[in-house]
Structure formats: C-alpha cells, structure tokens
Amino acid sequence: RLPQQSTSAGRLRVFARARPMETEALRNNGRASTGCGRSLELYPESDVVRLTCETEAQLFVPGLAENRDFGFDGVFPENSDNEAVFEQVGRPVLEECLNGYNGTILAYGQTGTGKTHSLLEDSGDVGIWPRLTES
C-alpha cells in the first residue's frame, strides 16, 4: 500500500479499475486470465493488484506460482460504478483545477478494458467526463 499523501502539490496518482469478468474468468474461480498462465487478483482494501505468473513447470506443482504485487492509490473492483470512480479520481482533480492548478485524467489499457465506459458513459452509468462538466 502506498503512503497516504495530499492530492495537491502536483503528485501523480495512479488507479486501477477492473471491468466485470467474462464467463471464462468466472469459471476460473474468479481469477481473470491474462494468458500464458497469468492471472490478476484485486485487493481494493489494500489498493493492491496481484499478478500471478505460472510457468509451464509450475502449472503441475500447486503453490509454486510467482506472485507480484503492484500498489496503487486506489483499486476499483469490477462491481464499482462510475460514481465511486468519480468521487475518488475525478472530484479531487476538479477541485485542484478550480484552485488554479492544471489537471489531467488519462485512461490507459488494452482494447475492451473499459476506458470509454469509465470516461464517458455506457448503459446509463454516467462516466467521469460528464460528471466533471455537471459539477
């Protein structure tokens, strides 16, 4: 977990958000497959994403997988709505902009991972950008 710091003073903040799992991941005990024997697990309570790498040899011996934890300023599980993302990501940037500072919200990821859903809107779940303009 990263140390808590103020959102001001130009600090870059990084968040991770998972989209809802597809049927294949649900059959895999809730572990989203990233291919090549890898899986991701989210720990929102500690703002950590765990990448589990399993080599071909490790697939035959349970418990030998290598885990790598990545800390973020916030982790949003697949059941998070855009309002929760806005409150933790968008609102602090908006407040800093209203105080005269520059602000940027950037969504990065592979095709189909939910960038447009998070930033705009999809199926009535209004995204961050419309919420910024309404606030």
State if pTM tops 0.85: no
Maximum mean pLDDT: which of 20-24, 32-36, 125-129: 125-129
Query: Each residue of 49-93: pLDDT tens digit?
Result: 988 776 655 556 666 667 788 999 999 988 888 999 999 999 999
> For 53, phi and psi rounded to 5 degrees?
-105, 125
**Cβ(32)–Cβ(38) under 8 Å?**
no
pLDDT of residue 7: 47
Summary count for the chain: helices (H), strands (E): 5, 8
Query: In angstroms, rounded to a whole number, what is the distance separating the alpha carbons of residues 124 and 109?
Result: 22
Pairing, β 38-43 against β 48-53: antiparallel
- The size of the chain, in residues, is 135
